[in-house]
């Protein structure tokens, strides 16, 4: 599929590297396994890779830089800007984790500095897609117009090829459009999380790629979780569907999908990814992985195309859980 209205072509499933950063969010990560995962993704035809400076406070980008040595031209590489964690960094407080305070800053000067650091960690001279990670808030609010101007300047300098935004409202996206040309919007979206449906539909109308993150609800929708599976890391702990009240309902729903998965000769997780991919015409599905077997399984969903009737059957099955 095309990345927005650029000339870049990306796989409809992307590799997410948040978990590779480890830390409080995901628990300890294995560097060698993470690098093998990147290589396996490329071998399986997944050429779109997403990371961010804040994933492991630079670790995810550094791992990716090592993994892509000699392979940089095989992928479309996306990273982000807007979250800082240095003791001297200024910005609005976003959250605290791993012993540091994460701050938001999307000022032009900060973006340009952040990109230079990302280029160094990634071991590359350009970033294919730069995304604002979280939107600017007081007391360090930067108008979207100024943020876009900085990104346009980076395109002129050859440091980035395109840009977009994560975690924003429809009104904010329209502001990005008023001042520039965003290629992609990245938002949380899944079978169980539909709060950004209107934004996804708008992106489809506008020809903007909508990239769904946490499409498998951080492992819950893979079909490999049971009632006794322990939740490790704050990323999974923050998913309400994992709790004792909701998990039995979700697992029962997944059990109901096993027969359909068999008819498509795929896993339940593949079925969920395929459903997500077909939710909108510009949908891209961001699947996190840090083990080769995880991306191996996810990549099999590239060849799964649901019939209209089966897509609706899955949707109808899940609807009662959403109310």
Does residue 183 form part of some domain? yes
* Domain-located, residue 231: no
Residue 232 lies in a domain: no
Q: How far is CA 46 from the centre of its chain?
A: 14
Would residue 230 count as lying in a domain? no
Cis upstream peptide for 224 (omega within 30°): no
pTM over 0.95? The answer is yes
CA dihedral angle for residue 95, residue 150, residue 147, residue 208, rounded to 10 degrees: -100
Annotated catalytic residue 55? yes
Q: Which of 55, 163, 176, 242 is catalytic?
A: 55
* Dihedral angle over CA of 189, 247, 287, 115, nearest 10: 70
Residue 8 lies in a domain: no
Taking the C-alpha atoms of residue 295 and residue 37, their distance in angstroms, rounded to an integer, is 7
pLDDT score, position 261: 98
CATH of the domain at 135: 3.20.20.100
The beta strands (E) that lie in the chain are given as 13-16, 48-50, 76-81, 83-84, 92-97, 100-104, 129-132, 163-166, 184-188, 209-213, 283-288
Q: Is residue 155 part of a domain?
A: yes
Per the structure, the complete domain to which residue 66 belongs is given by 13-219+270-305
5 within some domain: no
What pLDDT shows up at residue 129? 99
pLDDT for the residue numbered 162: 98
Per-residue pLDDT of the chain (323 residues; tens, 9 = 90+): 999 999 999 999 999 999 999 999 999 999 999 999 999 999 999 999 999 999 999 999 999 999 999 999 999 999 999 999 999 999 999 999 999 999 999 999 999 999 999 999 999 999 999 999 999 999 999 999 999 999 999 999 999 999 999 999 999 999 999 999 999 999 999 999 999 999 999 999 999 999 999 999 999 999 999 999 999 999 999 999 999 999 999 999 999 999 999 999 999 999 999 999 999 999 999 999 999 999 999 999 999 999 999 999 999 999 999 97
Q: Note whether residue 150 is domain-resident.
A: yes
What pLDDT is recorded for position 263?
98
Cα distance between the two ends of the chain: 33
Kindly calculate the radius of gyration of the chain based on its CA atoms and give it in whole angstroms: 19
The domain total for the chain is 1
Residue 252 backbone dihedrals phi, psi, to 5 degrees? -65, -40
């Amino acid at each position: 599929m095309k990345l927005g209205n650029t000339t870049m072509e990306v796989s409809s499933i992307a590799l997410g590297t948040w978990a590779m950063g480890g830390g409080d969010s995901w628990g300890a990560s294995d560097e060698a396994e993470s690098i093998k995962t990147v290589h396996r993704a490329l071998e399986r035809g997944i050429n779109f890779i997403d990371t961010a400076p804040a994933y492991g406070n630079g670790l995810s980008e550094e791992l990716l830089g090592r993994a892509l040595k000699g392979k940089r031209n095989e992928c479309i590489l996306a990273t982000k800007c807007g979250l800082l964690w240095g003791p001297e960094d200024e910005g609005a407080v976003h959250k605290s984790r791993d012993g540091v305070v994460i701050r938001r800053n999307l000022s032009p000067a900060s973006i340009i500095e952040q990109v230079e650091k990302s280029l160094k960690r990634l071991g590359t001279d350009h970033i294919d897609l730069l995304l604002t990670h979280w939107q600017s808030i007081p007391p360090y609010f930067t108008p979207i117009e100024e943020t876009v101007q900085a990104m346009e300047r980076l395109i002129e300098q050859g440091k980035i090829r395109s840009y977009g935004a994560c975690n924003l409202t429809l009104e904010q996206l329209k502001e990005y459009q008023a001042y520039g040309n965003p290629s992609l919007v990245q938002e949380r979206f899944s079978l169980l999380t539909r709060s950004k449906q209107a934004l996804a539909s708008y992106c489809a109308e506008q020809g903007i790629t909508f990239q769904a993150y946490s499409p498998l609800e951080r492992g819950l929708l893979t079909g490999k979780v049971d009632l006794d599976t322990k939740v490790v890391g704050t990323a999974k702990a923050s998913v309400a569907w994992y709790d004792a009240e909701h998990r039995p309902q979700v697992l029962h729903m997944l059990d109901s999908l096993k027969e359909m998965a068999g008819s498509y000769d795929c896993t339940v997780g593949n079925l969920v990814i395929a459903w997500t991919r077909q939710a909108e015409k510009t949908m891209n599905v961001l699947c996190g992985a840090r083990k080769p077997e995880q991306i191996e399984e996810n990549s099999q969903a590239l060849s799964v195309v649901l019939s209209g009737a089966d897509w609706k059957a899955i949707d109808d099955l899940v609807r009662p859980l959403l109310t």
